[in-house]
């Protein structure tokens, strides 16, 4: 592969050798180690390719063996350039392409952030943009050292940062500081109070004195674990002290939800005539969309993932985004009462799950339906098992 490409760049000659001693010619050329390739018979003549240097030596072999050597054609890049010598537009195009490629490679088209876990990537990219590092930035105007110092000064959570520019891509690599442990105040006296009305199911006290028992009904703000503890020895007079109460209290709680759903809904009917649009994406933000199809009425746009353009292993800062335009009309569709009730139940469950914190569960859904001429109304009582303990400073 490599020798063929080399002789394509250097140029080669296609020749024909004829006569009564073609075999002697081939033996002499082989003995003298003259390079030729793609040898094949064409009638009584032998056709082959050789280099310009090999042409002179093969001519000597042909003279010695009484054969006739005829040059059929010249091939390779030099011959192709000679044929294009009368077409200056081609060379102008090559020159313009080279200039455009050089100019495009002088910009940063992609900015990536690596190593961040707590810090948001969008915030870091915005900070980089404030110091001229963004898609479309001229690489000669960038000062990575100044940007490094600015990021270290702006974010106390960054202990180390490095900015690397490879081709048209800039990579911001950073290391975050070790997250400080949560400081729990164990000195300030506080009670554990209820955040919601409910029935106590479980109570686990770490510090303090339980003020309720399993099965008790509590209201919002009631003390669940008191900060007052008794200190003393059995048989002797003791005293009370105030501590920072802590513990876990689970209770059964109830929440009411109300939802309403119409018995008619708008349904999309898609047209069979769809149109495709292609967007050229430069970097991550710049979109070139000159050939957007003209659409009338309402339509949905479905976009596929961008397809990157590359030359070999070199990824260009260009990608193609394909969009599918799907025109549609809307029509009214009638729901049955059962369909509306099923949809309302699913909606109530979805909203109830959105109210849950980590560790909380839904115990039951009690839904009462009211059917009207044009809609169905659902009044849902959600029974949940959840944590209702919350710290409150003493005396507040």
Angle made by CA atoms 175, 179, 182, in degrees to the nearest 5: 175
Structure tokens at 77: 């890049």
User: Which residues, in sequence order, are bridge partners of residue 158?
Assistant: 176
pTM: 0.48
Find the range with the poorest average confidence among 131-140, 176-185, 198-207: 176-185
Task: Supply the pLDDT for residue 240.
Answer: 77
Mean pLDDT value across residues 73-90: 71
Mean pLDDT value across residues 130-150: 85
Helix axes 22-31, 52-65, angle to 10 degrees: 130
- pLDDT band for position 365 (50/70/90)? very high
**Nearest-angstrom CA–CA distance, 33 and 21:** 18
Instruction: Tell me which of 21 and 87 has the higher pLDDT.
Output: 21
Encode burial over 334-370: b for 16+ CB neighbours within 10 A, e otherwise: ebeeeebbebbbebbbeebeeeeeeeeebeeeebeee
13-57 pLDDT, tens digit each: 888 998 888 888 888 988 888 888 888 888 888 898 888 888 888
Q: How does the average pLDDT of the chain come out, rounded? A: 84
**Nearest-angstrom CA–CA distance, 111 and 151:** 15
pLDDT at 291 over 50: yes
Angle made by CA atoms 272, 273, 275, in degrees to the nearest 5: 130
pLDDT at 117 over 80: yes
**CA 91, 95, 100, 105: dihedral to nearest 10 degrees?**
130
pLDDT at 389 over 80: yes
303-328 pLDDT, tens digit each: 888 877 776 556 667 788 888 888 88
Q: Domain segments of the chain: what residues? A: 2-81, 107-176, 190-250, 265-334
Widest pairwise Cα distance in the chain: 134
Task: Supply the pLDDT for residue 142.
Answer: 86
pLDDT at 202 over 70: yes
For the chain, what percent of residues have pLDDT higher than 70?
A: 88
Find the range with the poorest average confidence among 199-203, 214-218, 240-244, 311-315: 311-315
Task: Supply the pLDDT for residue 180.
Answer: 60
Domain 107-176 belongs to what topology? Ubiquitin-like (UB roll) (3.10.20)
pLDDT at 233 over 70: no
- Residue 78, phi then psi, degrees to nearest 5: -60, -40
**Nearest-angstrom CA–CA distance, 154 and 145:** 14
For the chain, what percent of residues have pLDDT higher than 90?
A: 20
Task: Supply the pLDDT for residue 194.
Answer: 92
CB within 8 A of 361, min separation 6: which ones?
384, 385, 386
3-state SS record for the chain? CHHHHHHHHHCEEEEEEECCCHHHHHHHHHHCCCCEEEEEEECCEEEEEECHHHHHHHHHHHHHHCCEEEEEEEECHHHHHHHCCCCHHHHHHHHHHHHHHHHHCCEECEEEEECCCCCCHHHHHHHHHHCCCCCCEEHHHCCHHHHHHHHHHHCCCEEEEEEEEECCEEEEEEEECCCCCCCCCCCCCEEEEECCCEEEEEEEEEECEECCCCCCEECCCCEEEECEEEECCCCCCCEEEECECEEEEEEEEEEEEEEEEECEEEEEEECCCCEEEEEEEECCCEEECCCCCCCCCEEEEEECCCEEEEECCEEEEEEEEEEEEEEEEEEEEECCHHHHHHHHHHHHHHHHHHCCCCCCEEEEEEEEEEECCCEEEEEEEEEEEEECEEEEECCC
Task: Supply the pLDDT for residue 258.
Answer: 94
Mean pLDDT value across residues 210-225: 91
Query: In terms of Cα–Cα distance, which of 106, 114, 123 is closest to 162?
Result: 114
Task: Supply the pLDDT for residue 1.
Answer: 45
Length of the chain: 396
User: Which residues, in sequence order, are bridge partners of residue 340?
Assistant: none
Task: Supply the pLDDT for residue 2.
Answer: 46
In CATH terms, the superfamily for domain 2-81 is ACT domain (3.30.70.260)
Tell me how far CA of residue 330 lies from CA of 268, 338, 382, in angstroms.
5, 23, 35
**Nearest-angstrom CA–CA distance, 278 and 139:** 29
Instruction: Tell me which of 183 and 286 has the higher pLDDT.
Output: 286
Mean pLDDT value across residues 261-285: 83
């Amino acid at each position: 592969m490599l020798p063929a490409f080399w002789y394509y760049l250097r140029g080669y000659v296609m020749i024909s050798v004829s006569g009564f001693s073609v075999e002697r010619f081939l033996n002499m050329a082989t003995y003298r180690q003259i390079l030729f390739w793609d040898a094949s018979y064409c009638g009584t003549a032998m056709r082959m390719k050789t280099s310009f240097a090999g042409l002179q030596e093969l001519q000597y072999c042909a003279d010695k063996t009484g054969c006739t050597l005829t040059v059929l054609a010249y091939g390779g890049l030099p011959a192709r350039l000679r044929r294009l010598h009368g077409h200056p537009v081609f060379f102008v195009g090559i020159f313009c392409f080279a200039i455009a490629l050089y100019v495009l490679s002088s910009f940063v088209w992609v900015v990536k952030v690596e190593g961040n876990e707590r810090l948001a990537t969008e915030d870091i990219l915005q900070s980089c943009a404030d110091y001229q590092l963004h898609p479309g930035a001229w690489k000669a105007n960038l000062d990575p050292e100044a940007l490094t110092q600015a990021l270290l000064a702006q974010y106390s959570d960054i202990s180390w940062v490095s900015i690397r520019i490879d081709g048209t891509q800039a990579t911001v690599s950073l290391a975050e500081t070790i997250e400080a442990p949560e400081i729990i105040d164990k000195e300030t006296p506080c009670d554990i109070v209820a955040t919601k009305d409910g029935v106590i199911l479980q109570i686990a006290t770490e510090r303090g004195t339980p003020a309720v028992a399993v099965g008790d009904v509590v209201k919002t703000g009631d003390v669940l674990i008191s900060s007052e503890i008794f200190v003393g020895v059995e048989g002797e007079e003791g005293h009370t002290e105030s501590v920072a109460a802590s513990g876990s209290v689970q209770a059964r709680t109830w929440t009411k939800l109300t939802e309403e759903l119409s018995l008619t809904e708008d349904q999309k009917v898609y047209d069979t005539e769809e149109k495709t649009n292609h967007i050229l994406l430069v970097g991550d933000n710049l979109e070139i969309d000159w050939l957007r199809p003209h659409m009338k009425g309402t339509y949905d746009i479905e976009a596929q993932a961008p397809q990157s353009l590359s030359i070999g292993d070199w990824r260009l800062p260009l990608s193609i985004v394909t969009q599918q335009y799907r025109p549609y009309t809307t029509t009214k569709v009638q729901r049955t009462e059962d369909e509306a009730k099923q949809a309302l139940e699913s909606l109530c469950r979805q909203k109830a799950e959105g109210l849950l914190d980590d560790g909380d569960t839904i115990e039951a859904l009690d839904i009462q339906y009211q059917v009207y001429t044009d809609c169905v109304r659902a009044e849902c009582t959600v029974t949940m098992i959840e944590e209702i303990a919350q710290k409150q400073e003493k005396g507040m």
